[in-house]
C-alpha cells in the first residue's frame, strides 16, 4: 500500500511542474503589460525602465522562468506582489484560511444534503418523491453558481436585510465576545456557504443516486434480502457502503469545481479569499501573485486526485496490484 | 440518471422543445424583438417592467426583452461553436489514441488527465484576463479546455469496438483504417458523443456566462446573457429585473440541454431502455 502511495505521489510532482511551467509562459507571453498599469502618458522613459527592471521584466521570459523556479524551489520565495509589494506567498497565506473555511463548510453541507437526498431518491427510485427531488436538483444543477449567489444576496441580504451582504466579519468584530465573534462569522458565511453547498449538493445527489440504485440492485443484496437481512441493514450497511466507492472518485473532480466556485462566489460576496485575490491579480497583471495562487491551486487539485487514488486503493485491493 | 417512465421519455421531449424554442429565438431574433436592442434612451433608464418594456429597461434605457432575445444569439453561438470544435477535436484525438494504442495512447491520455484536473474557470480566467476577449478568442479558449471528456469517451469505445470480431474480420479482409472507422467505429461512438455534446453545451453556457459576469467574456455593448447579468449585478435589488430575467434565460436553456442530454442517453442506450421495459 505504501509503495502504491509513494508511486502515485512521485507521479504527481511532474504534473504540478508542467502545470506551473505552462501557466508561467502563458501569462508572460500573453498580451497585456503589467508596467502599463503604473505608467501614464507623462511618465518619463527612465521611470518606466526602473519599474521594468525592478519587476525583472527586462530579461528574456526563459531567464525569468529559471530565476522564478530557483527562488521557489530553494527558498520557497514567490517574489513580491507588483501592487502591494508584499511577498506573494504571504498574501496568499493570509487569505487562504477564509477560502478553506468557505469550501470546507460548503463541502460538508453539499455532501450531507446530496447524500441524504441521493439515498432517498434511490430508495424511491422512479416514484413520486424521487421525481420531485430529481427535478428540483436538476434545476439547481442547471443554475450558474453566481446566479444562485446573486439571488440569495438580493433577497436575504439586501431586500430583507437579515444577513450581511459582504465581507467575512463586521467592522466591530474585535469588540465582540467569543460567542459573538463566532456568530458574526456564521452570519457572514451563511449565504456564500449555502450558494456553494447547493451546487455541490446537486452534484453529490446525481452521483449518489446512480451508484446507490446500482448497489441496491446488485445480486449480493438480492441474496441478502432473500436470506432475511433487515432492510435497514441492507440500505445503510451494505448499500451505502458499496455506493460510496464511486463517490471517492468525486474527490478528484470536486476540487477543480470548488476552485471555480470560489472565484465567482468570493467576487459576489466580496470575501477576502483566494478567488478574489486571483481575479484581482489577473486583472492587475500581478505575475508573482498569480503564480503563487496557481501553485496552491495545482497542489490542491493534485492532492485531491491523490486522495481519490489512495481511497480507491484502500477500498478496492485489486487496484493496488496494477 | 433515468428519471423516466418506461417507453415514455418526457425529458427528451421537454428538453428538445426547450432547445428548439431557444434556437428559434436566436434565429428569428430580429422578428421577435419588440425594439432595437442597441437603441439607447437616456430619458428612460432602469425602468421596471411595464407595458412599453415588458421586462424593463437597462442602464442606458435599452429594452431588456429585446436584449435578452438578441443575447440568445451570442450566448448560444459561443456555446455551440466552442462545443462543436471541442467535440470534433475530442473525436479525432480519441480515435487516434484508441486506434494507435501504446505510447501515443499513453501520452494523449496523460494530457487528458492533466487538463481534466485543472480548474477550468481558473485557466480560462488566466487566458481571457490576458487575451483579447473577441468572440472567436473566447470560443477557441473554451474549446481548448473542453475536448477532454469527449476524447476519453471515444477512446474507450474505440478500444472496445476494435476488439470485436467483426472489426477483426474487416481488418483481415483488408479494409482500410479509414473505412473501418467510418463503417464500424463511428456508428458505435456517435451515441455517447451526442449525449456528451448536449451536456457540454450546457456547461459551456454556464462557463461563458460566469466569465461575462466577471467582465471577461463577451464585451458590451454586444448583448449576451452574461453581460446583462453583469450589468444587473451592480443593482441587484434596485434593478432586479436585469439579473433575474437574464438568469432565468440561462437556467432554462441549460436545463433544456441537460434534459435533452439525459433523454438522449436513455433513448440511445439500449441497456437502460431494456431495463425500463422490464419494469
Mean residue pLDDT of chain A comes to: 84
- Is A291 in contact with A88 (CB distance < 8 Å)? yes
Q: Looking at the partner chain, which of A23, A267, A298 has a beta carbon nearest the beta carbon of B214?
A: A267
Q: Looking at the partner chain, which of A135, A146, A279 has a beta carbon nearest the beta carbon of B125?
A: A279
d(Cα A173, Cα A182) in Å, to the nearest integer? 10
What is the distance of C-alpha B162 from the center of its chain? 30
CB contact under 8 A, B129 and A282: yes
Q: Is the pLDDT at A172 greater than 80, yes or no?
A: no
Residue that wins the pLDDT comparison between A316 and A28: A28
Chain segment A59-83, per-residue pLDDT in tens: 888 888 888 888 888 888 888 888 8
Which A residues 295-314 touch B at CB under 8 Å? 297-298, 301-302, 305
CB contact under 8 A, B121 and A260: yes
* CA-based nearest distance B166→chain A, Å: 30
Looking at residue B100, its pLDDT comes to 84
Looking at residue B117, its pLDDT comes to 67
Selected for mutation to probe chain A from B15, B117, B215, B239 (highest A CB count within 10 Å) is B117
Looking at residue B81, its pLDDT comes to 94
Tell me the sheet residues that pair with A321: none
The CA angle A310-A313-A316, to the nearest 5 degrees, is 150
Q: Looking at the partner chain, which of A130, A139, A158 has a beta carbon nearest the beta carbon of B255?
A: A139
| pLDDT above 90 as % of chain A | 10
Chain segment A112-156, per-residue pLDDT in tens: 999 899 989 988 888 889 889 998 999 898 988 888 988 888 888
Chain segment A260-296, per-residue pLDDT in tens: 888 889 988 888 888 888 888 888 888 889 889 888 8
CB contact under 8 A, A15 and B117: yes
Looking at residue A159, its pLDDT comes to 79
B84 touches chain A (CB under 8 A): no
Tell me the sheet residues that pair with B57: B63
Helix (H) or strand (E) holding A228: none
Question: For residue A113, what is its C-alpha cell?
Answer: 444534503
What is this structure's pTM? 0.84
d(Cα B70, Cα B25) in Å, to the nearest integer? 8
Residue that wins the pLDDT comparison between B119 and A191: A191
CB contact under 8 A, A30 and B114: no
- Is B90 in contact with B203 (CB distance < 8 Å)? no
Chain segment A216-258, per-residue pLDDT in tens: 888 888 888 888 888 888 888 888 877 777 777 787 778 888 8
Looking at residue B271, its pLDDT comes to 59
Q: Return the closest-CA partner of residue B25 out of B270, B257, B253, B263.
A: B253
* CA-based nearest distance A42→chain B, Å: 25
Tell me the sheet residues that pair with B63: B57
Looking at residue B253, its pLDDT comes to 94
A23 touches chain B (CB under 8 A): yes
Over range A159-175, report the average pLDDT: 78
Q: Looking at the partner chain, which of B126, B233, B258 has a beta carbon nearest the beta carbon of A138?
A: B258
Contacts of A150 in chain B (CB under 8 A): 229, 232-233, 236, 243, 247
Can you list the residues of chain B whose pLDDT is less than 50?
1-6, 273-279
CB contact under 8 A, A147 and B117: no
Looking at residue B23, its pLDDT comes to 92
A283 touches chain B (CB under 8 A): yes
Collect contacts of A254-257 with beta carbons under 8 A, ≥24 apart: A254/A107, A254/A200, A254/A203, A254/A304, A255/A300, A255/A301, A255/A303, A255/A304, A255/B119, A256/A301, A256/B117, A256/B118, A256/B119, A256/B120, A256/B122, A257/A199, A257/A200, A257/A203, A257/B119
Looking at residue B270, its pLDDT comes to 59
Whether the ω angle into residue B221 lies within 30 degrees of 0, i.e. cis, is: yes
Amino acid at each position: 500500500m505504501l509503495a502504491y502511495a509513494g508511486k502515485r505521489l512521485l507521479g504527481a510532482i511532474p504534473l504540478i511542474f508542467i502545470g506551473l511551467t505552462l501557466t508561467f509562459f502563458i501569462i508572460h507571453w500573453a498580451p497585456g503589460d503589467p508596467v502599463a498599469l503604473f505608467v501614464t502618458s507623462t511618465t518619463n522613459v527612465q521611470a518606466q525602465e526602473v519599474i521594468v527592471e525592478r519587476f525583472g521584466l527586462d530579461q528574456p521570459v526563459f531567464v525569468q522562468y529559471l530565476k522564478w523556479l530557483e527562488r521557489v524551489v530553494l527558498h520557497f520565495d514567490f517574489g513580491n506582489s507588483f501592487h502591494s509589494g508584499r511577498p506573494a506567498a504571504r498574501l496568499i497565506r493570509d487569505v487562504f484560511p477564509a477560502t478553506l473555511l468557505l469550501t470546507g463548510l460548503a463541502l460538508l453541507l453539499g455532501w450531507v444534503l446530496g447524500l441524504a437526498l441521493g439515498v432517498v431518491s434511490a430508495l424511491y427510485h422512479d416514484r413520486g418523491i424521487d421525481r420531485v427531488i430529481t427535478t428540483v436538483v436538476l434545476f439547481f444543477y442547471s443554475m450558474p453558481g453566481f446566479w444562485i449567489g446573486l439571488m440569495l444576496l438580493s433577497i436575504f441580504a439586501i431586500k430583507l436585510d437579515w444577513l450581511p451582504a459582504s465581507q467575512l466579519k463586521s467592522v466591530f468584530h474585535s469588540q465582540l465576545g467569543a460567542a459573538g465573534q463566532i456568530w458574526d462569522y456564521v452570519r457572514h458565511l451563511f449565504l456564500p456557504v449555502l450558494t456553494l453547498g447547493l451546487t455541490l449538493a446537486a452534484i453529490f445527489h446525481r452521483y449518489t443516486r446512480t451508484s446507490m440504485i446500482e448497489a441496491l440492485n446488485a445480486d449480493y443484496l438480492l441474496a441478502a434480502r432473500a436470506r432475511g437481512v433487515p432492510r435497514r441493514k441492507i440500505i445503510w450497511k451494505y448499500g451505502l457502503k458499496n455506493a460510496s466507492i464511486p463517490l471517492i472518485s468525486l474527490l478528484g473532480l470536486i476540487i477543480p469545481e470548488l476552485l471555480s466556485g470560489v472565484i465567482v462566489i468570493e467576487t459576489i460576496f466580496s470575501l477576502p479569499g483566494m478567488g478574489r485575490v486571483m481575479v484581482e491579480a489577473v486583472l492587475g497583471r500581478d505575475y508573482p501573485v498569480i503564480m503563487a495562487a496557481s501553485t496552491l491551486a495545482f497542489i490542491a487539485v493534485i492532492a485531491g486526485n491523490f486522495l481519490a487514488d489512495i481511497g480507491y486503493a484502500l477500498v478496492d485491493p485489486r487496484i493496488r496490484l496494477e | 440518471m433515468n428519471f423516466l417512465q418506461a417507453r415514455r421519455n418526457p425529458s427528451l421531449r421537454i428538453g428538445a422543445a426547450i432547445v428548439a424554442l431557444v434556437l428559434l429565438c436566436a434565429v428569428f431574433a430580429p422578428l421577435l424583438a419588440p425594439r432595437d436592442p442597441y437603441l439607447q434612451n437616456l430619458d428612460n433608464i432602469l425602468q421596471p417592467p411595464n407595458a412599453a418594456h415588458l421586462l424593463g429597461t437597462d442602464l442606458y434605457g435599452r429594452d431588456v426583452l429585446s436584449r435578452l432575445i438578441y443575447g440568445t444569439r451570442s450566448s448560444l453561438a459561443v456555446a455551440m461553436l466552442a462545443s462543436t470544435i471541442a467535440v470534433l477535436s475530442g473525436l479525432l484525438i480519441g480515435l487516434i489514441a484508441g486506434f494507435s494504442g501504446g505510447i501515443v495512447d499513453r501520452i494523449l491520455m496523460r494530457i487528458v488527465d492533466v487538463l481534466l484536473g485543472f480548474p477550468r474557470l481558473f485557466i480560462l480566467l488566466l487566458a481571457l484576463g490576458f487575451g483579447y476577449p473577441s468572440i472567436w478568442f473566447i470560443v477557441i479558449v473554451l474549446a481548448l479546455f473542453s475536448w477532454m471528456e469527449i476524447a476519453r469517451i471515444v477512446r474507450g469505445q474505440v478500444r472496445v469496438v476494435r476488439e470485436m470480431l467483426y472489426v477483426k474480420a474487416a481488418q483481415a479482409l483488408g479494409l482500410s483504417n479509414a473505412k473501418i472507422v467510418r463503417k464500424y467505429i463511428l456508428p458505435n461512438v456517435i451515441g455517447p458523443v451526442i449525449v456528451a455534446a448536449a451536456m457540454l453545451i450546457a456547461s459551456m453556457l454556464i462557463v461563458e456566462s460566469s466569465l461575462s459576469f466577471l467582465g471577461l467574456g463577451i464585451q458590451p455593448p454586444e448583448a449576451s446573457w452574461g453581460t446583462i447579468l453583469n450589468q444587473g449585478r451592480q443593482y441587484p435589488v434596485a434593478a432586479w429585473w436585469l439579473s433575474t430575467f437574464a438568469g432565468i434565460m440561462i437556467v432554462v436553456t441549460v436545463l433544456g440541454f441537460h434534459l435533452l442530454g439525459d433523454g438522449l442517453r436513455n433513448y440511445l442506450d439500449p441497456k437502460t431502455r431494456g431495463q425500463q421495459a422490464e419494469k
